[in-house]
Amino acid sequence: MFFRDFFIRKCMWSSPNSIKETAARFKKFYKSMMNHDKFKKDDYKCLCDTIKDEMKSWQESCDYYDSGKPNWDPFKF
């Protein structure tokens, strides 16, 4: 939900590229948390899989929102 909706609407600097960069930072942060036994390995794998599977959709949604077209729906993509 963060990348699909909130980040796109509330962060003025959001762009398809910034979504990719921020997702990479999330992965890095949670990998560090996993290495310090604060985050389960299975949960980290799930996070990485979600990012991999949804990245294109998040970027397309951001492109559409940034285009200013009416009727933007974050769950359309």
> What would the pLDDT profile of 25-54 be if each residue is shown by its tens digit?
999 999 999 999 999 999 999 999 999 999
* Confidence (pLDDT) at 8: 87
* Confidence (pLDDT) at 66: 84
Q: Domain ranges in the chain?
A: 2-11+26-66
pTM (predicted TM-score): 0.80
Q: Which of 7, 6, 16 is nearest to 67 (CA)?
A: 16
